[in-house]
Structure 1
Amino acid sequence: MLERFRQFWTRFWAPVAHLFIRAGISPNTVTFVGTVGVVAGALIFFPRGGLIWGVLVITAFVFSDIIDGYMARTTGQVSPFGAFWDSTLDRIGDAAIFGGLAMYYVGPGDNHWFAALAIYCLSMGSVTSYARARAESLGMQAKVGIAERADRLVSILVITGLADIVNRAGVGRDALYAIPVTLGVLAIASTITVFQRVVVVHQQALALVAQVPDDGAAPSTSRDGSPG
């Protein structure tokens, strides 16, 4: 859903990207620094209850995901390793955000059920990304679903930040219940997204099998895709 705004943010951050290019900074370096910033913001501030400060730090660095891609395309440095590097560090950043919230609920948030909910969102977010990556590695597509990465991150960061602002404004800690409610919605949406991707890949796999001639034996593979 939120991918439609990527072009706007790409144009917005283009001047910064060109500044980095002139300074000789590589896209992979921007990816790394951005991930370090996201991880630091999530794991330093969230567990201590500084939710709004964590959100602000994460937001300051999360746009590196757009900047590095623009830099790579502009300088012609698009490469298989760059794509691998970017995707791998994205998983680390996502895990830090939801892991940081889980640590908050184990600590000052004091609710193990909400901590478990955050961990479930972390896990299903990883499965969602893995399902797409695994499908593409097998020559199929799985970019479908109601909760892609951008949707999940923007939703939880916006609600976490707003809830803490309202809490600090004097409304009280009841405002913070908006966070576990959002986690619950994301848990359901992520689960549905995984199911949608499984269905789409299953349909493509059946179509591929149907294209195999009756007298043509397909190579044997194990369930993990390796030669069996």
Structure 2
Amino acid sequence: MREEMGRYYGPEYHRAVGNAGESSSKRWKKQLQVISKYKTGGNILDIGCSSGAFLGYLKGGPWKLYGIEQNLPTAERARALTGAEVFAGDVEDAAFPPNSFDVVTCSDVMEHLYEPRDVFRNVAEWLKPGGIFYIFVPNIKSWEARAFRSYWYGLDLPRHLHHYSAESLTGLAMLVGLREVRMVTPPGRYVEQSTWILLDDMARKAGLKWTPSELNPQPGIPWKLLRKAQRLTIGSLYSSAASYCGAGPSLQAVFQKD
């Protein structure tokens, strides 16, 4: 039930999301590089802006900043940190005039929203002619999703309400008159996180009661070095191959309003 979902979005969740975003400058740089292929300035709206990490990365540049954030304290933090105009509430309730934005972004948020068709419809109305809609979501047709199935980290149940493929995203865009101009699966992986979820479930079924520290212990230096080597070799090769084949764990899409 929608009214019960709040229990899964407590203060710790918003704090963790905010902290992760504020330490992801490399990610925001890559996101801006993609956006800059189509737009290099103007009005930009970040749906689900959290504490304003991406908007803060843009601060002082050629952009006028806007955001939407459901959680009121987090929205207030975003305003204070970025100077952006931030609507506090559900994206379905946000009211912006038609043809307001050159760019709308939605990173790791669309999967949390109840009515994605309404969101796409609003975005299509808010965009100026030629404006773009940038989306980043987990890829339900990734190799990892098919291998781990219900244990895949990208499912994040019950917070993720919808799971997207390239086809479903493009279909939603076409319904509201937006045209696909980019659809890729960037390199990345959730293999470690998914493995821990699988091991946790196996332990529970075996009657073992692990504490969080036992399930995911702090690694020593030898283990850190081994994991680093694995990430730079096998992990890197796997991520690149999955991305090349369109089967990476995430989808990065750009749609344009003609």
TM interval, short-chain normalised: under 0.3
Question: Which protein is richer in helix relative to its size?
Answer: 1
Question: Which protein is richer in strand relative to its size?
Answer: 2
Larger radius of gyration: 1
Q: TM-score when scaled to structure 1?
A: 0.27
Q: TM-score when scaled to structure 2?
A: 0.24
